[in-house]
A = this chain, B = another copy of it.
């Protein structure tokens, strides 16, 4: 496997920093370019970024000069990761794709675009073929792939085997979301210390919409969305990392028993497990038997922060079954998810 040269757009932000840390020793990808706002451009990264990761800035990164996010300045990379703010991502990502530079984006802007794959490798790897319908670049060499909202990842990872086995008809969930999900400076400590905020702006619509595309089926080159309903309440809790979801699901057909469902989740195999993707967790989903688990502080880092933890699986008196699910929001739910997407894109020959 040769090495690919990656750029990072939005490199000074919280997601950008997580990209840098996760790619520090990556076997396939080397960071060659860092893009940020014009205010940061021209400065060494270590000066331009307010570094918030606990391990120090990698030395070679710290010395790199930050560039503006213009495609013309990224001619030396094979593709870019985008941690851009949604206020600027629409234009910049399209410009990069137009210039023939593949964009692996964590931004929400193109998630609902009909030809842009909204991708979780373990859930809908076949959606990648949407790329071929993209027209961002004249010759098809530039394209965009996105990963979903951080709450949606553990949600669809658990819904996928249920949908395949029983069908999913309705989902009610309440999320207890970590503060790192709001970026930096993000949530003021005066608001959240010893407290819960029962609302996160713009979060619930994404949680209610994205699963339908992710669990949709590819028909004639487009994704036909799944037809179930999702109702979400998003809350913020004083936790560093790890979004925990309390989920109740109405199924299309009845499981024989809750043990059958437990077996289904425990024995579930990722369709990309054979591909040896470097960031893929050995067990993308783990079902805890101990009722007290999973917990964000104990389990968010499992398998390098890439595992979806499930627990408290039980029959529900309303709808059918209920469980809690949890995943690391800035790794699995953001930068780590995008990196895994890039790895799949390499294996499938889209990045070359």
Contacts and interface: CB of A to CB of B under 8 A. Distances in A.
Contact of A198 (B186, B208, B230, B295): B295
Chain A binding site: helix, strand, loop or mixed by DSSP?
mixed
A264 interface: no
A311 B239 contact: no
Nearest to A194: B194
A296 interface: yes
Contacts of A12: none
Contacts of A240: 190, 193-194, 297
Given A171-B318, A231-B248, A233-B322, A297 B187 contact: no
Contact of A196 (B208, B237, B318): B237
Contact of A312 (B170, B172, B195, B233): B233
B229 A317 contact: yes
A279 B248 CA distance: 37
A235 interface: yes
A166 interface: no
Contacts of A114: none
A319 to B, nearest CB: 7
Interface in A108-140: none
Interface residues of A, number: 57
A16 interface: no
B199 A312 contact: yes
Contacts of A317: 208, 229-231
Given A185-B188, A189-B186, A189-B189, A231 B194 contact: no
Given A184-B190, A188-B189, A244-B198, A176 B237 contact: yes
Contacts of A171: 318
Interface of A: 52, 54, 170-172, 174, 176, 179-180, 184-199, 208, 229-231, 233, 235, 237-240, 244, 246, 248, 250, 291-299, 301, 311-312, 316-319, 322, 324
24 contacts: A52-B190, A54-B297, A174-B233, A174-B246, A176-B196, A176-B235, A179-B193, A185-B188, A185-B190, A186-B188, A187-B189, A187-B190, A189-B238, A193-B194, A195-B296, A196-B296, A198-B244, A198-B311, A199-B291, A199-B292, A231-B316, A231-B322, A235-B244, A240-B297
Given A174-B174, A195-B296, A196-B244, 5 more contacts: A193-B238, A194-B239, A194-B296, A231-B317, A233-B322
Report, nearest first, the 3 A-B pairs whose CB atoms are least far apart: A185-B188, A174-B174, A195-B297
